[in-house]
Amino acid sequence: MASSDVKLIGAWASPFVMRPRIALNLKSVPYEFLQETFGSKSELLLKSNPVHKKIPVLLHADKPVSESNIIVEYIDDTWSSSGPSILPSDPYDRAMARFWAAYIDEKWFVALRGFLKAGGAFIDCSKGKPFFNGDNIGYLDIALGCFLAWLRVTELAVSYKILDEAKTPSLSKWAENFCNDPAVKPVMPETAKLAEFAKKIFPKPQA
């Protein structure tokens, strides 16, 4: 598949854009990354996603697919024979992955706090393996893991470690495994760079 057949409209700092980028990397699909400028919307974006006018948008053979989790599922289905399966094969596990992914999008920080309070939640989902999906990164890993860069920025800003190795060893190890995965590492924003970007889009209120 030539890279010109697959394009992704997005922005490097967006956690939602990270999702399809990770999925494409997991499936070893070459693609062209079309960067949007913060504060403006390109004609291509408005044409490709006229309903929500938001990133990310996947263009596959010039056909647009919108919404990050929907794009991830599309990538998993389209390149099913390449790389690991992103969605679980078991129908119940697949339904649960979709449920929690939707919950994360509605209240991602609340969802994270829920995982922290329910100490065995990750162990139950992962069945003792490195990722929520098992041995490989999957749907729920991508849905939650895309926020880790912004979580680090938050930790830096408040001088408080949310994912503490002593209090949440399993989840902390998952975060480390996720961030160091070859499919994730190239697209995970650097904390310092993201923190500087955050200062521009979230200026401190005047005294």
- How many domains, in total, are found in the chain? 2
- 64's enclosing H/E stretch is strand 63-66
Output the domain CATH number for residue 14.
3.40.30.10
Token readout for 152 is 């680090």
Q: Kindly state whether residues 74 and 114 are assigned to the same domain.
A: no
Q: Which of 54, 79, 104 is the last residue of a domain?
A: 79
Per-residue pLDDT of the chain (207 residues; tens, 9 = 90+): 444 699 999 999 999 999 999 999 999 999 999 999 988 999 999 999 999 999 999 999 999 999 999 999 999 999 999 999 999 999 999 999 999 899 888 887 666 666 566 556 677 777 888 998 899 999 999 999 999 999 999 888 888 888 888 888 888 899 999 999 999 999 999 999 999 999 888 766 444
Q: Which of 53, 79, 105 is the last residue of a domain?
A: 79
Q: Kindly state whether residues 180 and 97 are assigned to the same domain.
A: yes
CA distance 145 to 178: 7
Q: Kindly state whether residues 183 and 160 are assigned to the same domain.
A: yes
Task: Please answer whether residues 35 and 42 qualify as being in contact, where contact means their C-beta atoms are separated by less than 8 angstroms.
Answer: no
Distance of CA 101 to the CA centre of its chain: 10
Task: Please answer whether residues 141 and 133 qualify as being in contact, where contact means their C-beta atoms are separated by less than 8 angstroms.
Answer: yes
Output the domain CATH number for residue 152.
1.20.1050.10
Q: Kindly state whether residues 194 and 109 are assigned to the same domain.
A: yes
3-state helix, strand, coil in the chain (%, to 5): 50, 10, 40
CA atoms within 13 A on the CB side of 158: 8
Q: Kindly state whether residues 48 and 115 are assigned to the same domain.
A: no
Q: Kindly state whether residues 116 and 175 are assigned to the same domain.
A: yes
CA distance 144 to 63: 27
Q: Kindly state whether residues 53 and 123 are assigned to the same domain.
A: no
Residue 86 lies in a domain: no
Which position has the token pair 């263009």?
59
Q: Which of 79, 104, 132 is the last residue of a domain?
A: 79
For 193, the domain range is 91-201
Q: What angle do CA 39, 59, 107 make, to 5 degrees?
A: 55
CA distance 112 to 158: 17
Residue 127 lies in a domain: yes
Q: Kindly state whether residues 165 and 127 are assigned to the same domain.
A: yes
Q: Kindly state whether residues 187 and 108 are assigned to the same domain.
A: yes
Q: Kindly state whether residues 11 and 70 are assigned to the same domain.
A: yes
Residue 85 lies in a domain: no
Give residue 115's pLDDT: 59
